[in-house]
Amino acid sequence: SSRPGADNVSPDEEFSRLDRAMAVIRTDFPTVAVSIDTFRSKVARRVVERYGPVIINDVSSGGLDPELPAAAAEWGAPYVAMHMRGTPQDMQQHIDYEGEVADEVIAWFARKLDTFRDLGLHDVILDPGFGFSKTTEQNYALLARLSDLQILERPVLAGLSRKSMIWKPLGCTPAEALNGTTALHWEALCQGASILRVHDVREAVETIRLFQCFPASGFFSSQGQKITKTTKT
């Protein structure tokens, strides 16, 4: 797990967990697109060699293993780059931003995209990393300006589902955070998110279907900026 404070596991243990899941998925759904969550190039390579093409979801954007973005470029794999400082074990100690969090996240991604471009990695999805190296207040400040990431001309993934930025302000548990999750999913769509990473698939799909009922010409973000609607996943 890459949740705050999660225990680290060995590469062999990580691959063992992925191997068990991938074996089932590839047996029952051989053509479905699969995203693997790893920041280790050796783990990703073992998965690709055994199961074929996958999407690489790297919570460190190459910060914990610089070889992973290069490997994704080599395989032609879509690559989810997430904003995080430090490691999952200590990231909540790295929450001091000199300016507005959204400005720093955008500048950080711009530098990363330059590096990826030099590696030949172009199929990049940006995940601003809600809950990673950010306080609750910083998470909401970032969400309010999520549409600003469109300046980087890459799809944006929003991972908000049942996170502490929802259940802490509501004084509930993660299990009780579906309603708040749906509310923030709607805002993320308003802000131009192209992908939602969710726990509750049916509820998320229903939210997207209703969002798509709105005329594209009449949709604005909470900041009053015009949003170009795209196909949501």
Active site residues: 163, 197
Tokens representing residue 2 in the block: 């890459």
Whether 38 and 18 have beta carbons less than 8 Å apart is answered as: yes
Q: What is the DSSP string of 126-190?
A: EE--TTSS--HHHHHHHHHTGGGGGGG-S-BEE--TT-HHHHHHHT--GGG-HHHHHHHHHHHHH
Instruction: Determine the Cα–Cα distance for residues 177 and 165; give it in Å rounded to an integer.
Output: 10
